[in-house]
């Protein structure tokens, strides 16, 4: 996964607007908020910041 650091600094979670952190192993951007925590997929080095596409790691399934 290749996300420029300057881009990661300005990206925010679409649901709660908290900063995102990169999870290279899972190819995801993960919300840093303890209340939200959604994981957004990165496909072909492009972040898919759609709530409907996000995965909830606490629930182990996608948001629907």
In a domain, 38, yes or no: yes
Q: What is the pLDDT of residue 63?
A: 55
End-to-end Cα distance, the chain: 25
pLDDT above 90: residue 47: yes
Q: What is the distance between the alpha carbons of residues 36 and 17, in angstroms, rounded to a whole number?
A: 10
Would residue 21 count as lying in a domain?
yes
Q: Is the whole model's pTM more than 0.95, yes or no?
A: no
**3-14: pLDDT as tens digits:** 899 999 999 999
* pLDDT for position 10: 95
| Inside any domain, residue 64 | no
Does residue 53 lie within any of the structural domains?
yes
CA dihedral 9, 10, 14, 20 (to 10 degrees): 0
Model pLDDT for residues 20-43, shown as the tens digit of each residue: 999 999 999 999 999 999 999 999
Find the domain containing 38 and state its range.
5-59
Instruction: Kindly report the number of other CB atoms within 10 A of residue 5's CB atom.
Output: 7
């Amino acid at each position: 996964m290749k996300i420029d650091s300057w881009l990661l600094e300005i990206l925010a979670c679409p649901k709660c607007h908290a900063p995102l952190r990169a999870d290279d192993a899972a190819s995801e951007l993960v919300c840093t908020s303890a209340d939200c925590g959604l994981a957004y997929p990165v496909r072909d080095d492009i972040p898919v910041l759609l709530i409907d596409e996000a995965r909830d790691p606490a629930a182990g399934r996608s948001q629907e």
